[in-house]
A and B are shown apart, each in its own frame.
Chain A
Amino acid sequence: MTKQFEYTGKVQPQLGERDASGQLMYPYLPYEELIEAVNLAIYLERPLLLKGEPGCGKTRLARAVAYELGLPLEAWYIKSTTRAKDGLYTFDAVSRLRDAQLAATGRVIKDEDIPRISDPASYVQWGALGRAFQNTQRTVVLIDEIDKADIDFPNDLLLELDEQRFIVDETGESIQAKAPPIVFITSNDEKDLPDAFLRRCLFHYVEFPSIPKLVEIVNSHFPAAPQVLIDKAVARFLQLRDDMGKDKGEAGKKVSTSELIDWFRVLRKYPEDEVLRKLDGKLPYAGVLLKTWEDHVRYLRGSRGR
């Protein structure tokens, strides 16, 4: 029996701390419901499918969980051309052909390389899931934006996620997960996912944070920032978000938490009193928040009416 992990959402990285890949770590403040869902996924050894508005922290969750539990993280970012097999392994057939050819001509290749070239396994490059399966530690796997791929993609992963094993066709090697990975899957709902796949996942909808949570999030990212500024910026941000919601309806893209943090970072670059003054007037540094021309026009029209 593997050790039971429990995610609490309370262990946060220090400011300026970097992860193994050298990326800056930021605090992640999940809701109680999300923490529960994560623990359930860990306990049941099932993938957790996360949906929610863009920029509400779906992708960041995996990193936060890996950080708190001290587990390795394997991220697999899906593109429209990604195939299910890519996450397990890729076989570098071209290199093998090239090496075989070089060996045949008897030049370049050294004798000690011959056993390596004759073993097809040395041309297997492991993907995120492939590496996670072979790790003796439970590994946090992030499958990001699964809806970008072909519609068959999720179904092609069923066996691998279900039984946690796969076979490398080229070598006939069978890989069985040494420790069940903790899998997070994010989706932006661009495509419907097949039911067979959905059945095997746990699902959680990441909600947009409430006002106190937003303040808390900004606080944790900018501990040095004065409270007045945070409150004011958050209030201004929420006002913009509400206006967007009214105009575009629930379906439209609204400003998100990640944009708030970016915006606040820009605000912090300027003297506090200047920023406070600016927050009362026209939306300062609107480019960080308003991404389309329509949004901009809508904002200008709205502010003129006010």
Chain B
Amino acid sequence: MDVSNLPLLELFTRLQDAGLPLGIDEYKLVLKSLQGGFGIRDKAALKRLCQTLWVKSNEEKALFEFHFEEVIGGEDIASNSKKSVKKFYNKNFVKKLPNQFNKFWNYASLFFIIIGIGFALKFIFVDTQQVQKAPQQPVQNQDVVMINSINLALIFIGTSIPIYVVYQQIFKRNREERIAQKKIVKSTIPLESTQIVEDEIQVVQAVLQSMIKNQKIIDYRFILSGNLFPVTERQMKHNWRYLRRMMREGQMTELDVEATVEQIGRQGLLLSPVFVPRLVNKVELLLLIDQDGSMVPFHALSRRFKETLLGGRHLGKVGVYYFHNCPGDYLYNDPSHQKAELISNILNYEGSDRTEVLIFSDAGAARGGYSEERFNLTREFISKLQKRVRYIAWLNPVPKERWSGTTALDIARLAPMFEVSRRGMQNAINVLQGREYG
């Protein structure tokens, strides 16, 4: 394997674009390892090396495999399939060419034989006639010419009929043969080409399987590799981490040295050390997601929000609920709006004075136009919410410049609304944290 000529940098940038947390150090690590003699044995070893250094989870592995096949493994697959196609051509066409030549010569020779037979017949006829006419030598030349021409015509007709018959026969047979051959070709091509077709299907399957293996990957395929999202997965995770309200809660496990010393100062001797509970994050977040309708294009984005939020597991409590267009009296536990729950119930049982609400909805900006009803319903909902929760923020997947002239612009006055971008998400988190934003 030629190590000096590997498209490693391309693979690296592709993976980086796909959202893998890779820095230039990680690239250098691969080079260092290659210099150290790792991963140079063959392609599989190189793949394992890159995988160990660059891939950090099973989801990333599927992505890595896909890109590795495309960038480095891809060449092999392409040349393989080219080879097999060539083989296919060789087997089916190059070998058939002589066959067709043969057939042509067969027909040609048949034709010549027939003509030959015709001539032979003619000569025989002429000879016999000449033999027959030999005693009548003194017949006039004109007669001879006439007789000859009649003879010729006779001969022509006599020979052309069998030739025609033979030709018909041959043509028919030829046609039958051709059809039969087509049939044979039809039945032989699969025999030989199934191998290739199968191979190619396997390649496709391999690619697809690596995508399908993890259901999430299908959705990630475009998102991760295309960088289509205004906020990457990393940025989302990063932003969620700012969402914190640390409080001391639980068992007294941490020694408070300062308080202990102070206590000794007061009491004159150490009676018992002072312990305090640990700091824990008590943020309680309700993520309300607008689902279906005009939000269909943003489902992948909302799902990503939800996954990154739940994956971190650092918040006190997270509730994810769904609604359609604008929340009425009910919110739904599932994206398909099957399990409904009264909003008042959610707030009563799950909510507390620490609860924060983040709404993810286009607020009518995706479809455009102004809906009085939507605005009124939303206003009602927000005012109901504001009585119970301290902070509400709104993330709108539609860019801000498209809010004007739609309900979104008015709804933005009810609750701080931000477009989905890194800055927008930061601002929304700031609002939820009770900080200033801008």
A109 at the interface (CB under 8 A from B): no
Interface pick from B70-78, B309-317, B362-370: B309-317
* Contact status A43-B52, CB under 8 Å: no
The residues of B that contact A194 with a CB separation of less than 8 Å are 237
B49 at the interface (CB under 8 A from A): yes
* Contact status A44-B32, CB under 8 Å: yes
B206 at the interface (CB under 8 A from A): no
The residues of A that contact B55 with a CB separation of less than 8 Å are 203
B43 at the interface (CB under 8 A from A): no
* Contact status A151-B260, CB under 8 Å: no
* A33 to B, closest residue via Cβ: B48
- Tell which of B22, B57, B261 touches A51, judged by Cβ atoms closer than 8 Å: B57
Q: Which residues in chain A, 187-207, are within 8 Å of chain B measured between CB atoms?
A: 190-196, 198-199, 201-205
Contacts A44-B29, A44-B32, A93-B260 given: A37-B253 contact, CB under 8 Å?
Answer: no
The residues of B that contact A49 with a CB separation of less than 8 Å are 56
A290 at the interface (CB under 8 A from B): no
Most interface-central of B22, B57, B314 (chain A CB within 10 A): B57
- Tell which of B52, B253, B255, B261 touches A202, judged by Cβ atoms closer than 8 Å: B52
The residues of B that contact A193 with a CB separation of less than 8 Å are 56
The residues of A that contact B261 with a CB separation of less than 8 Å are 97
* Contact status B21-A44, CB under 8 Å: no
In the assembled complex, the CB of B406 is this many whole angstroms from the nearest CB of chain A, namely 36
* Contact status A81-B278, CB under 8 Å: yes
* Contact status A198-B270, CB under 8 Å: no
The residues of A that contact B38 with a CB separation of less than 8 Å are 36, 39-40, 43
B25 at the interface (CB under 8 A from A): yes
The residues of A that contact B311 with a CB separation of less than 8 Å are 191-192
A94 at the interface (CB under 8 A from B): yes
* B278 to A, closest residue via Cβ: A81
The residues of B that contact A192 with a CB separation of less than 8 Å are 237, 311-313
Contacts A36-B45, A37-B52, A97-B273 given: A151-B255 contact, CB under 8 Å?
Answer: no
Tell me the complex Cα distance, A33–B253, Å. 42
- Tell which of B33, B234, B273 touches A44, judged by Cβ atoms closer than 8 Å: B33
Q: Which residues in chain B, 251-280, are within 8 Å of chain A measured between CB atoms?
A: 253, 255, 257, 260-261, 264, 269-270, 273, 278
* B45 to A, closest residue via Cβ: A36
Q: Which residues in chain B, 114-139, are within 8 Å of chain A measured between CB atoms?
A: none
* A101 to B, closest residue via Cβ: B270
* A150 to B, closest residue via Cβ: B314
B53 at the interface (CB under 8 A from A): yes
The residues of B that contact A151 with a CB separation of less than 8 Å are 241, 312-314
- Tell which of A40, A44, A93, A105 touches B257, judged by Cβ atoms closer than 8 Å: A93
The residues of B that contact A81 with a CB separation of less than 8 Å are 253, 278
* Contact status A97-B313, CB under 8 Å: no
Contacts A36-B38, A97-B270, A98-B270 given: A43-B241 contact, CB under 8 Å?
Answer: no
The residues of A that contact B29 with a CB separation of less than 8 Å are 44, 46
Q: Digit string of A67-102 for contact with B (CB within 8 Å is 1, else 0)?
A: 000000000000001000000000001100110010
Tell me the complex Cα distance, A43–B257, Å. 42
* B23 to A, closest residue via Cβ: A199
In the assembled complex, the CB of B264 is this many whole angstroms from the nearest CB of chain A, namely 7
Tell me the complex Cα distance, A216–B408, Å. 65
* 19 more CB-based (< 8 A) A-B contacts, given A196-B21, A198-B56: A33-B48, A36-B52, A40-B53, A51-B57, A51-B58, A81-B253, A93-B260, A97-B260, A97-B261, A105-B269, A151-B241, A151-B312, A190-B313, A192-B311, A193-B56, A199-B23, A199-B26, A199-B56, A202-B52
Question: Considering the complex of A and B, which 4 residue pairs feature the smallest CB-CB distances, nearest first?
Answer: A195-B21, A198-B56, A151-B314, A192-B311
